[in-house]
Amino acid sequence: MSRIIRIGTRDSELALWQAKTVQSQLERLGHKTVLVPIKSTGDIVLDRPLYELGITGIFTKTLDIAMLNEDIDIAVHSLKDVPTQLPKGIVQAAVLKRGNVNDTLVFKNNEEFLSAKNAIVATGSLRRRAQWLNRYPTHTVVGLRGNVNSRLEKLNQNDWNAAIFAAAGIGRLNLRPENAINLHWMIPAPAQGAVMVTALESDEEIRTICAEINHEDTETCTNIERKFLRRLEGGCTAPIGALAYIKNEEVTFKGVLLSKDGTKKVEVSKVVPLGEHYDLGDFCAEYIISKGGKTLMDQLQRSEKNTNIYSTKKLTDGQLQLFHNSVVAESNDAVKISLNRIPKSVVRNEIENVIITSKNSVEALLHNFSPAELQFKNIYCVGRRTKRMIEKRIGKVKHTETNAKKLAEYLVEYIEGTKVTYFCSDLRLDDLPKILTENNIAVNEVEAYQTKFDADKVEGDLDGIMFYSPSTVESFLKQNKAKGIAFCIGDTTAKVARQHFEDVRIAKVPTVESVIELVNEHYV
């Protein structure tokens, strides 16, 4: 095969180890490969929003986007981090032979603290925390996040007795200390220790190649565990453990669901002949549910909602599902748009230079005229989505920028002629017409639509507010005080928010889904 397989991976040390392992196995089979580390979300060039594609995993989303954009051919993940529902168009192509499935306790001095009444153990895992407190209810469990190296360093720096790690992670990086024991009694996360390869469903050639490195027994066991997890998730983040293994032509499964504090636990264990295992995960999940698991999950779902976010744009059900489970999000439109009647005389003759800074202006133009009537020689716009809408419904865009100020600065340098027609709102910002006028470019402003403030008065304290335009900031503040974090869709919105909020965050990409991702990154 002459095709070079592009292997997408996160750029952490452990992720690169996994990707290089996949690379090595493929190259031993005679395939050419190249690693493509992916650092950030980047420029999403998709026709549909993320929620329609089902992209949800906080550790896998960036690679999903890169694959759907066809920037990579395959992606390599820790299987335990992959959501049980893959995005549309992406499939599991291979699972490598599983490593150590256990959780490992790394302790400082000795193991005597295990019998002590008071001890401090660190972990960032809800599942590990719950199982530890179930076994050692008088111990204190503290949070621990970061990569493996930084967590080991934090253990040494703090007055803790021990910390819990995935055995596979510290083993693969050759970082397992001598003072470490595997916790065989602790049921691991579903698919812990397994490496997964995903590919586009439509790429039959790549899927056929990946099948060559698939480990069938690992695939069987992790599928059972993930079916168990998927049935129990129910929209909440719960302490769930699952482990399946094959021995002597039999499949043994163990599963557990706990309360966050470890005081409540429902377990299941079942052995079936290999070949009769296909419904094992679902069967065991139903057993858990019937033995008190449903009540426990309902309690978990109610207890974990603790961060209040308000969106100044009405969110769809799909968008609301993208929020982390600890976030309670309410939404309503803070501004209402009313399209104006635009006189036919405005577009009677061909207009040399047109400026459009929002999709609302596009809607207003098309509300008044047919595309054939809109004879614009040069169209300049703000925003990638506005550009796509214009090119789909009106005509080619000559140039686009991320905000109005940048567009004005570009036009001062490169415009053809000295006049522009600017289709805008009655509440437009001054930057663009001011800069153009100061540079002897005449601006004919046409009020295409009106923006009406219509924000709710929000009761109770908010942890953060999501803003999508300067108008949404102004509207919200007419009814409410500036408290919490302002999560903004772009620089222009952030500029207005900074006049009122101390903490302002800007999304990587100017989309609603990216603002939601910004919220999740802060609170997860």
Number of helices and strands in the chain (H, E): 18, 24
Active site residue 81: yes
Three-state SS for 319-343 is HHCCCCCCEEEEECCCEEEEECCCC
DSSP string, 149-167: HHHHHHHHHTT-SEEEEEH
Are the beta carbons of 445 and 419 closer than 8 angstroms?
Answer: no
* Non-local CB neighbours of 276 within 8 Å, separated by 6+ positions: none
Which residue among the candidates 71, 81, 282, 463 is catalytic per the annotation?
A: 81
Residue 196 region, left (φ>0) first, then alpha (ψ -120 to 50), else beta?
beta
Are the beta carbons of 337 and 468 closer than 8 angstroms?
Answer: no
Cβ neighbour number for residue 61 with a 10 Å cutoff: 19
| Run of H or E including 252 | strand 250-258
147/297 Cα distance (integer angstroms)? 30
Angle, nearest 10°, between helix axes 216-233 and 280-288?
30
* Non-local CB neighbours of 111 within 8 Å, separated by 6+ positions: 181
For the chain, percent helix, then strand, then coil, each to nearest 5? 35, 25, 35
Active site residues: 81
